[in-house]
Structure 1
Amino acid sequence: MLNIADTLYDWCRAARPFALATVVQVSGSAPLPVGTAVGSVSGGCVEGAVYELCQQIVADRGTPVRARFGYSDDDAFAVGLTCGGEIEVLVQHVDPADQPHLTAALETVTQGGPTALAQIIDGPEHLLGRTLTLLGDGSAYDGTLGSPDQDRAVAAEARALLRAGRTARIEVGGDADTCPERLSVLVHTHAPRPRMVIFGAVDFAGALSQAGRFLGYHVTVCDARPVFATPARFPHADEVVVDWPHRYLERTDVDSRTAVCVLTHDAKFDIPLLRLALGLPVGYIGAMGSRRTHEHRLHALRETGVPEDRLARLHSPIGLDLGAYTPEETAISITAEIIAHTHHGSGLPLTRGTGPIHQPAPDALSSATRTAA
């Protein structure tokens, strides 16, 4: 859907009701992926049939319709996919006046901001096509899919997908105590990959860049020493930068999803870098070093005027206590801490916890209460 956000936003601003056709399931060698919306859903071979459905939905303000299209062996000229695949399309009527949150989400997309839009594509007929939107860091959401429990469950999943910049179909509900109605929800996302900026071209950075790339981060390795900061040494990094760490951080773009990992272990790099990083709105800041190094580092940062509330943001020594020794094990330790911090996890073994394994973030619970009120 968000692939045509400009067009949809224009229609919403004009308060113009429209029909929206979204590819909700693909099998075989169908030409376009799940989430593709109006304009071209199949590369040309079923557009006429979809257009007729759209006209009917707009004229009747009817309930959403799911239609399946595939290749017909009996009639090569029948409506179908000559490529041999199959697609399923959800066609729904959209009145912008009924969904002001949709207009706000589309505006955010057109401005390049992070956005997630959850759309019910399978479930009870009266819920088909309903949407819920998350903007920015996803800490709050708007719209409703049917019940506060369903909204919270979908918002938590959508938040994770937004951080990863992935569009995906999720299943929620089916629990008699919380969400009795089983729903299939397509979460459309618009977001660049979150950034992981690794300072220090050391062996640990090589393993961490690989782990970060695996988790969906756009990974940058930065070091002031050109002999160490080379693409050949860091093949999993998206970019390798030769510059003084604090100078690079001053000029690069960061946001609330950015993870800053300081592995330089050298005060002449660490102190100016951390002093700057602790004042930026990044999601995670960690620094490598022993506990003794950490205490010296805190003392030096205090002497430069960094206040205590900013120092409290620093994860040092970096990583969770996994007993890690090798660069690869240390990378898992660091990324585990980033995941726990990002999702408000305890970092404890699941065997020591109680209740649901997947918990929405505290800020999501408060926003859900506001939304449902």
Structure 2
Amino acid sequence: MLELADSLLPVLHAGEPVAVVTVIRAARSAPRGPGAAMAVHRDGSVIGSISGGCVEGDAVLLATQVLATGHGMVASLGFSDEAAHAAGLACGGSVDVVIHRVDPADAVARAALEVPVDRSARVGIVVSGVAAGRLIPGDGLPAETRILESAYDGADVFVVQRDPRRRLVIAGAGEHAIALCRVASAAGFAVTVCDVWERLVTAERFPTAERLVVGTPAEHLDDLVGPDPARAAVCVLSHDERVDVPTLAAALELGAGFVGAMGARGTVAHRARLLAEAGVDAAEIARIHAPLGLDLGAPSPAGTAISILAEITAARHGGTGLPLRELTGPLHRSAASCTVAAAPQPA
């Protein structure tokens, strides 16, 4: 529900109720996991999704019923593998969902939805018993999306948790920075661009940036990464060692969760020597993702930006960066369970 805040709040402000369908459990290869949500308006329009399209039709029918009656419900949606393939559906998964109506006067819903995106937010949804679908305040609930057994008058409660947006600080305002800002913003990052050249750090060049800063990145970095550096990524794209080295040193010292820098292999080695001479520990230097990006074979700024964002994402989730066809096991699993498929042997 919280992921749909930008779309739900205007509806509630207009005095209209809305039905929300939230995934509370997912089995096998369901495309979206617990916490995924969709909403159905009284006019039949739909916001968001809870799968790849396999169960949305049934979800809309149930949501329409809940919107009319006001009574929440819990349901299981999905197909067996055989039924899925017979129907032409590829996932073969299933999801348990809770469906509830959110009314404009619901103070619990409004309070949770109005939390700014740069702060964590949570709300509880009762998912069993006669109170199924009731919202409870998030105060005191754990900061993770999961089910709490017997947490509300003996009924189970599903906690919907939304973390603050992750921050991306880009040092340097060249063409690669423009492309990275664009794709990272689309992926949900709060992007800050910092460069010493005022004529490069402009809203016209970076229309999707959350913040533009003119100055030496290293001097501003403490403020730019925010109160939780472990959730921030710092990418150095300036191609100037006078900027690169102090910015990398500052990012490592602050404990930024991801630190990366563009550059040829010779440049990477030279920077590492300069960082070591500046007293940066070897283990810290080894944390730098450089040369930055995964090998996608696309040298354009747009292709490079995608490769950088892919590496940030893989590092965040512990992904292998390998094609899924080279891995075995479920597609949606923890990183720890990833195994590489054996290469086929020649005949």
Structure 2 length-normalised TM: 0.58
Distance 1:274 1:199 in 2: 10
Shift of 1:288: 0.5
Q: Report the Cα offset of residue 307 of structure 1.
A: 1.1
Preserved contact between residue 225 and residue 232 of structure 2 (Cα < 8 Å): no
1:286-301 equivalences under 5 Å are 286-301=260-275
Q: Deviations over 1:164-216 (max 9, x none)?
A: xxxxxxxxxxxxxxxxxxxxx98744443221111101000111010011101
Pair 1:117–1:316, CA change in 2 (3 A): farther
1:276: Cα distance to partner? 0.8
Task: Say if 2:182 is the partner of 1:210.
Answer: yes
- Asked if the contact 1:231/1:239 (under 8 Å) is kept, the reply is no
Residue 302, structure 1, aligned to residue 276, structure 2? yes
> What is the CA-CA distance between 1:89 and the residue it aligns to?
2.2
1:193 alignment counterpart = 165
- The answer to whether the Cα contact below 8 Å between 1:197 and 1:260 also exists between their aligned partners in 2 is yes
Checking the alignment, whether the CA contact within 8 Å between 2:181 and 2:209 is kept in structure 1 is yes
> How many percent of aligned residue pairs carry the same amino acid?
40
Which secondary structure state, in structure 1, belongs to the residue aligned with residue 173 of structure 2?
coil
* Cα distance in structure 2, aligned partners of 1:335 and 1:125: 43
CA contact (8 A) 1:127 1:145 kept: no
Give 1:125-204 correspondences, 5 Å limit: 128=132, 135=143, 144=148, 188-204=160-176
Paired residue for 1:228? 200
Does the alignment pair 1:237 with 2:209? yes
2-side partners of 1:276 and 1:226: how far apart?
A: 22
2:328 equivalent among 354, 358, 370: 354
Would the alpha carbon gap of residues 248 and 288 (structure 1) be closer, same or farther in structure 2, given more than 3 Å must change?
same
Aligned residues, how many? 239
Q: Does 1:27 align with 2:33?
A: no
Per-residue deviation, residues 209-250 of structure 1 (Å, max 9, x unmatched): 100111011111110111222221222222221010101103
Match of 1:66 among 72, 93, 105: 72
In 1, Cα distance between equivalents of 2:200 and 2:102:
53
1:311 corresponding residue in structure 2: 285
Give the structure 2 partner of residue 114 of structure 1.
Answer: 120
Question: How far apart in 1 are the matches of 2:200 and 2:272?
Answer: 27
CA drift of 1:295 comes to 0.6
CA contact (8 A) 2:147 2:159 kept: no
Structure 1 residue 120: Cα displacement: 6.2
* CA separation of 1:118 and 1:199: change in aligned 2, threshold 3 A: farther
Decide which of 206, 210, 219 is 2:191's aligned counterpart: 219
Counterpart residue identity of residue 312, structure 2: I
Worse-superposed segment, 308-317 or 345-354: 308-317
Unaligned runs of 5+ in 1: 3-20, 35-48, 54-64, 68-86, 92-105, 147-184, 364-373
Gaps of 5+ in 2: 3-16, 21-38, 49-67, 74-98, 104-111, 151-156, 338-347
Partners of 1:117 and 1:134 within 8 A in 2: no
User: What is the RMSD of the two structures over their aligned residues, measured on CA atoms?
Assistant: 4.0
Measure, in 1, the Cα distance between the counterparts of 2:269 and 2:175: 24
Sort the Cα spacing of 1:191 and 1:266 in 2 relative to 1 into closer, same or farther, 3 A.
same
For residues 343 and 198 of structure 1, do their structure 2 counterparts lie closer, same or farther at Cα, with a shift above 3 Å needed?
same
Q: Distance in 1 between matches of 2:284 and 2:213?
A: 27
Contact 2:168 2:233 in 1 (8 A): yes
Do the aligned partners of 2:122 and 2:160 also contact (CA within 8 Å) in 1?
yes
Partners of 1:127 and 1:354 in 2: CA distance:
41
The CA distance in 2 between the partners of 1:305 and 1:143, in whole Å, is: 47
Q: Give runs of ≥4 in structure 1 deviating > 4 Å.
A: 115-118, 124-134
Establish whether residue 282 from structure 1 lines up as the match of residue 256 from structure 2. Answer: yes
